């Protein structure tokens, strides 16, 4: 038991989220580099660096230079065991990111210094705030010309609704960029313009009045730094760890991930202040990580990680107890006992068989089609972990079978891909036709490609006019019956038989809500 508590204190599990192109994957690479997990950092797109990023391992990711699926990486740093989940920023794959956020204990939000807060960042931070997840903000790309630091912090506060606390402060920007002052460790980091990839060594500066400061960065920059830090101390609150852990205060760091600058400071502070694995609410009770019995839930399914072996892996987040290899565990939804001979841990697509895993760890289990997203595994207790919602899709198309001889393969393929959570399937009440709803249009190409290459089934699409899918909660039986009679053509059932209203436009939705005022229309399935 004492071993479990020791391991628990060592664990840190976090996700990196942001708008596309803010530098998440590059930051992940650099964190792995400092953690000693890789010897050479790759880049997403670079002419000089031939090595691709470790976390972008799928063929489609390499072709397009974007991440399309969350990758899981684990490494050791300063006696802590750190699990990183690098999420896709592109909104077409946002569903994956939302689900990943259910499996992390804290998050790092990356903001581009030139572009500031973008639309996708807002959505993701809202999900974090909904769950009170602790957030650290990393402002990236300081070696480029960007916005004034105060203006940027104001924008982050007003748009994202965060209370910020700067733990480092930039000296200049773009061509004038000289480094950052680390408030957390009271040290000065000088940026080397010539040898950019060299890791900056911090120089301890507890007193900013020290004349040595002028020697290092020049009189003008030193004066500006003193004034700005005085202003920071007057405007922003002091760092309070309890407020950070409650999700009420967000530390801010400045740096440049591409040039290794400011990343180690972020990692040092993170390893010190970030929360260890937290309790998680199930429908029956709250599960605490220090409990002796194992429990965990599936938050992601990835088919064909290795294209040579049609393998499908279910990613399980360990919530409590110790997961052991070759031990029987209860699959709650199926009511079956299963044992796993080769559970894995990951460094993106590289994997190792693991003997034991502790709360906070992510374990990959080989899956033959048994698992769905949201499934629970336990040491015998019947637990249902909640809070893994399906969000309202924004694109809708009818799916048609292009080869009548392959209707079985198509049904199986669609069923499995929907389990993976790539998209959602709706069956119309009026005529039983199948409609696929996705968060982004790119997903249709992915589904079509995978149905053909993995299941040998061909499909075609035709447009279905819908604006939004909303889950119906009927408080009034009379109104519900009237809705079913009047709007029969716009009603469907989702994969689990729940009633869904497919609104054709914003105006149509508004009119329906006014007419049926005792029925609630939800944007996500967990209401």
What letter would DSSP give residue 369? S
- What values do phi and psi take at 226, rounded to 5? -60, -45
Mean pLDDT of 304-312: 59
Which whole-number Å values give the CA distances from 12 to 278, 327, 476, in the listed order? 10, 25, 46
The mean per-residue pLDDT over the stretch 350-377 comes to: 83
Query: pLDDT-based confidence at 8, cuts 50/70/90?
Result: confident
| CATH 3.40.50.300, applies to 8-171+237-273 | yes
* The pTM of the whole model exceeds 0.85: no
Per-residue pLDDT reduced to its tens digit, 114-142: 888 887 788 778 878 877 889 999 988 88
Query: What pLDDT sits at residue 48?
Result: 37
- Whether 395-522 and 8-171+237-273 are alike in CATH topology: the answer is no
Minimum mean pLDDT range among 33-47, 62-76, 307-321: 33-47
Q: Which of 200-209, 237-246, 308-317, 318-327 has the lowest mean pLDDT?
A: 200-209
The pLDDT value recorded for residue 334 is: 87
Better-scored residue on pLDDT, 93 or 353: 353
Q: Give residue 94's pLDDT.
A: 56
Residue 375 in this model has a pLDDT that exceeds 50: yes
Min mean pLDDT across 68-77, 131-140, 326-335 is at 68-77
Q: pLDDT digits over 98-110, tens only?
A: 777 788 889 989 8
Residue 206 has a pLDDT of: 60
Cα-based torsion angle of the residue sequence 353, 355, 357, 363 in order, rounded to the nearest 10 degrees: 30
**What's the whole-number mean pLDDT along residues 75-95?**
69
Q: Is a pLDDT exceeding 90 seen at residue 461?
A: yes
Residues 6+ apart with CB under 8 A from 59: 307
Q: What is the rounded end-to-end Cα distance, in angstroms, of the chain? A: 37
**Span 387-412, mean pLDDT?**
83
- Whether 513 shows a pLDDT value over 80: the answer reads yes
Measured in whole angstroms, the distance separating CA 110 from the mean position of its chain's CA atoms is: 12
pLDDT 10s digits, 204-217: 666 666 777 777 77
**Residues 6+ away with beta carbon under 8 Å from 340:** 325, 326, 329, 365, 366
- State residue 126's pLDDT score: 81
Tell me the fold of 395-522.
Alpha-Beta Plaits (3.30.70)
Question: Could you tell me the pLDDT band of residue 311, with boundaries at 50, 70 and 90?
Answer: low
- Per-residue model confidence (pLDDT) at position 40: 46
Check residue 416 and give its pLDDT. Answer: 78
Q: What is the pLDDT of residues 207-248, one digit of tens each?
A: 666 777 777 777 888 888 888 888 888 889 998 989 999 889
Better-predicted residue by pLDDT, 260 or 191: 260
d(CA 14, CA 133): 10
Q: Please tell me the predicted confidence (pLDDT) of residue 362.
A: 85
Q: What is the mean pLDDT of residues 328-356?
A: 81
pLDDT above 70 covers what percent of the chain?
81
Q: What is the pLDDT of residues 432-443, one digit of tens each?
A: 899 999 877 778
In angstroms, the CA 394 to CA 469 distance is: 8
Q: Where are the domains of the chain?
A: 8-171+237-273, 280-378, 395-522
Residues sharing a CB contact under 8 Å with residue 123, sequence separation 6 or more, in sequence order: 91, 94
- Between strands 202-204 and 187-190, the pairing is antiparallel
Please state which CATH number belongs to domain 280-378.
Answer: 3.40.50.300
Q: Is the pLDDT of residue 294 over 80?
A: yes
How confident is the model at residue 6, as a pLDDT? 84
Structure tokens at 54: 């470790």
CA-based nearest residue to 135, from 116, 122, 148, 151 = 122
Residue 414 has pLDDT above 60, yes or no: yes
Chain segment 189-200, per-residue pLDDT in tens: 776 665 555 555
At residue 287, does pLDDT exceed 60? yes
On the CB side of 98, how many CA atoms lie within 13 Å of its CA?
A: 23
């Amino acid at each position: 038991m004492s071993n479990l508590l020791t391991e628990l204190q060592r664990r840190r599990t976090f996700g990196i989220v942001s708008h596309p192109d803010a530098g998440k994957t590059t930051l992940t690479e650099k964190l792995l580099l400092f953690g000693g997990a890789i010897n050479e950092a790759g880049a997403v797109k670079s002419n000089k660096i031939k090595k691709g990023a470790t976390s972008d391992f799928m063929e489609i990711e390499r072709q397009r230079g974007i991440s399309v699926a969350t990758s899981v990486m684990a490494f050791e740093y300063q006696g802590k065991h750190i699990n990183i989940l690098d999420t896709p920023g592109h909104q077409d794959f946002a569903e994956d990111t939302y689900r990943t956020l259910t499996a992390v204990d804290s998050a790092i939000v990356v903001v581009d210094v030139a572009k500031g807060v973008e639309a996708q960042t807002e959505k993701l931070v809202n999900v974090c705030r909904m769950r009170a997840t602790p957030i650290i903000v990393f402002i990236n790309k300081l070696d480029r010309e960007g916005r004034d630091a105060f203006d940027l912090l104001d924008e982050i506060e007003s748009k994202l609704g965060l209370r910020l606390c700067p733990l480092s402060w930039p000296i200049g920007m773009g061509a004038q960029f000289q480094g950052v002052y680390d408030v957390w460790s009271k040290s000065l980091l000088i940026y080397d313009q010539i040898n950019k990839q060299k890791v900056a060594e911090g120089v301890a500066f507890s007193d900013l009045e020290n004349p040595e400061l002028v020697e290092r960065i020049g009189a003008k920059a030193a004066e500006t730094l003193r004034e700005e830090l005085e202003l920071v101390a007057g405007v922003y609150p002091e760092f309070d760890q309890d407020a950070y852990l409650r999700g009420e205060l967000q530390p801010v760091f400045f740096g440049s991930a591409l040039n290794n600058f400011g990343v180690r400071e972020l990692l040092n502070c993170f390893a010190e202040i970030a929360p260890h694995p937290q309790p998680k609410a199930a429908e029956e009770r709250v599960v605490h990580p220090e409990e002796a019995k194992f429990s965990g839930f599936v938050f992601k399914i990835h088919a064909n990680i290795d294209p040579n072996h049609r393998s499908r892996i279910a990613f399980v987040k360990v919530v409590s107890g110790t997961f052991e290899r070759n031990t029987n565990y209860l699959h709650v939804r199926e009511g079956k006992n299963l044992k796993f001979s080769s559970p894995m841990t990951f460094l993106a697509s590289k994997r190792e068989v693991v003997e034991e895993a502790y709360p906070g760890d992510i374990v990959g289990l080989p899956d033959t089609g048994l698992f769905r997203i949201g499934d629970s595994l336990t040491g015998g207790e019947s637990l249902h972990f909640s809070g893994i919602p399906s969000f309202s899709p924004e694109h809708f198309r009818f799916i048609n079978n292009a080869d009548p001889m392959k209707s079985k393969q198509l049904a199986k393929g669609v069923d499995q891909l929907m389990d993976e959570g790539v998209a959602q399937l709706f069956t119309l009440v009026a005529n039983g036709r199948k409609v696929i709803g996705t968060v982004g249009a790119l997903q249709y190409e992915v589904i079509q490609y995978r149905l053909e290459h993995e299941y040998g089934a061909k499909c075609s699409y035709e447009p279905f006019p819908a604006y939004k899918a909303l889950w119906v909660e009927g408080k009034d039986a009379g109104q519900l019956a009237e809705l079913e009679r009047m709007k029969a053509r716009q009603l469907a059932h989702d994969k689990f038989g729940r009633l869904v209203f497919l609104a054709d436009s914003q105006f149509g939705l508004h009119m329906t809500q006014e007419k049926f005022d005792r029925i609630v229309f939800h944007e996500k399935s967990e209401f």
